[in-house]
Structure 1
Amino acid sequence: MLKPAYPIRTERLLLRPFTPGDLDALHAVQSLPDVTRYLYWGPRDREQVREALEVKTGQTALLDEGQALSLAVEVAATGELAGDALLFWHSRVHRSGEIGYVFHPDHHGRGYATEAARALLELAFDGLDLHRVAARLDGRNTASARVLERLGMRREAHLVENEWVKGEWTDELVYAILQRDWRRTAR
């Protein structure tokens, strides 16, 4: 079980629960074709973002397997919403989880995704005592793959044309890290 104390502070970011007041900023992220290119869903209109936000505002703790923690990623210096970060708790028995993140292009190239994902891994390993955390991404998303590699995650699989997404076959990459490897590299 994980009920973080909010906000979670990193060097430059605050990770916090989403609020209804995040609608405009989240819409600015989720409405962009560049942002949704490698996601399962396409650009969202305001109503679709409102519906997604309603779900996100309820994802503030991990009380049992099968749940997701969805956090707004805010630039501490400006209060600007840069994106969102997700931690899924897949299995209590297998002590497994998954991370994900989505950022507005204005915040790309600054290390924010790496910083936020590092905080997610800390929550997964220190807060939930998970054994293994994975990340799945479209095989064409080289920027996201670099983030995962910087975190010490290893590429475990390249699944060729395994999913039909938005009218085309797509490859999927699977990255993962074990708790013991995280502990070794996080110091």
Structure 2
Amino acid sequence: MKIFDLPIETDRLRLRRVRHDDFDALFPIHSDPDVCRYLPYEPRDEAGMKEALNKRVALAELEPGGDALFLAVELKETGEVIGEVLLFYLNEEARQGEVGYVFSPEFQGKGYAYEATNAFMDVCFDAFNLHRICARCSAANDASWRLMEKLNMRREADLREHGLFKGEWDHMYIYAILEDEWRAHRS
């Protein structure tokens, strides 16, 4: 499926395709052990970040079950990249997607993740005709699951010790919202 028109703009933010020149802004985020604690990979070295960035930039179409669409989140006022939002297109027939987000610790706690993810989900429901968007996080990641609740997503699963994650038993929450529920909260 073709990627929708960009950028997406909010009051304070611009969401746009990731570019190669975003390396200097994204590398400190993705190499930070505290940020990566809840991400499905270890802190990235320069080569690993360049490889990940190349995949993000090269994505031309969103395929069900394929690579995620990553958008850089930048401050409109300065153009500084402060994080990313992402969408996995899980299933075309059932119209399912999964969102995620990662932000620089310097910009956490200021409402940017909510503002970006809220706008991104709105566009994703429209552009991909999604029926349901889910998100998941570690139960220990309070900021993440609180963001999901602020987005009016409901906790659908509380998976205790369902698998090993970075050498420890994982306790994961899964949240979701249906398109009609999303629309009802928007009106």
TM over 0.5: yes
TM-score, L = length of structure 2: 0.95
Residue 84 of structure 1 is matched in structure 2 by: 84
TM-score, L = length of structure 1: 0.95
Confirm or deny: 8 A CA contact 2:2 2:60 kept in the other structure.
no
Report deviation, 1:120: 2.1
Structure 1: runs of 5+ lacking an equivalent: none
Report deviation, 1:24: 1.2
Q: Any idea what SS the aligned residue of 2:49 has?
A: helix
Structure 2: runs of 5+ lacking an equivalent: none
Report deviation, 1:66: 2.2
- 1: CA distance between counterparts of 2:122 and 2:61? 15
- 2: CA distance between counterparts of 1:71 and 1:60? 13
Residue 64 of structure 2 is matched in structure 1 by: 65
Task: State the 4+ residue runs in structure 1 displaced beyond 4 angstroms.
Answer: none
- 2: CA distance between counterparts of 1:55 and 1:85? 15
Q: Any idea what SS the aligned residue of 1:77 has?
A: coil
Confirm or deny: 8 A CA contact 2:6 2:15 kept in the other structure.
yes
Q: CA RMSD in A?
A: 1.2
Residue 117 of structure 1 is matched in structure 2 by: 117
Confirm or deny: 8 A CA contact 1:99 1:135 kept in the other structure.
yes
- 2: CA distance between counterparts of 1:107 and 1:14? 15
- 1: CA distance between counterparts of 2:60 and 2:79? 19
Which residue type is aligned with residue 98 of structure 2? E
Confirm or deny: 8 A CA contact 2:8 2:120 kept in the other structure.
no
2:140 is the counterpart of 1:140: yes
- Give % identity: 46
Residue 51 of structure 1 is matched in structure 2 by: 51
Report deviation, 1:87: 0.9
Report deviation, 1:3: 2.4
Residue 29 of structure 1 is matched in structure 2 by: 29
Which residue type is aligned with residue 106 of structure 2? D
**Residues 166 and 56 (structure 1 numbering): CA distance in 2 closer, same or farther, change over 3 Å?**
same
**Residues 186 and 174 (structure 1 numbering): CA distance in 2 closer, same or farther, change over 3 Å?**
same
Confirm or deny: 8 A CA contact 2:83 2:101 kept in the other structure.
yes
Which residue type is aligned with residue 71 of structure 2? L
Confirm or deny: 8 A CA contact 1:60 1:69 kept in the other structure.
no
- 2: CA distance between counterparts of 1:110 and 1:183? 25
Which residue type is aligned with residue 50 of structure 2? R
Report deviation, 1:42: 1.5
- Number of positions where the alignment pairs a residue of Structure 1 with one of Structure 2: 186
Which residue type is aligned with residue 17 of structure 1? R
